[in-house]
Structure 1
Amino acid sequence: MNSKAAISCSCGCMFQVGFQTSYADIPPVCPQCGLTMDQKSWEALRSTLASLSDFNYHILKWNSEFGEPKMLVPTITACTLED
């Protein structure tokens, strides 16, 4: 499972980062304005992406081994309030 997150930068740019395609120690950089995400925020986001990947992995495993329902979570949407 390749968990991805959509990031909305303060400049208005929307871009994606992937758990498997990113480097753990290098926070994402906005392709439009060049701002870099804070290291602690990046670590928290990577932890969230890892948890989602682990969840889906276990669902697939339990489905194949125990016949449990295959109910994957392909996406999570977080709605934020505008200022």
Structure 2
Amino acid sequence: MTAQEMFEELGFRKNTSICYGKDHIVYEKAIGNEEDDCGFDIFTVEFKDKIFTYHNTWNSAIKTNVAILRAINKQFEELGWLDD
């Protein structure tokens, strides 16, 4: 299974904007929040220049699970970042 497939199983979609490519990958997941006046939050996992970020719309700390970590690690592997 590819990293993209793993992220898709977790409800993320790969952003295919022309701004991103082979060396700059972004996955996004929108989550509705009925208790919050804002209505939704967007979780983003971004890979660029051997650095990844995982954040929400408000750039706050995010709780995660092993499935997300496995998908992130798989993306590292596919990008060849674990070879260094």
Query: Which TM-score band applies after superposition, normalised by the shorter structure?
Result: 0.3 to 0.5
TM (normalized to structure 2)?
0.34
**Relative contact order, CA 8 A, sep 6+: which one is greater?**
2
Please tell me whether Structure 1 or Structure 2 has the larger radius of gyration of its CA atoms.
1
Please identify which structure carries the higher helix content: 1
Please identify which structure carries the higher strand content: 2
TM (normalized to structure 1)?
0.34
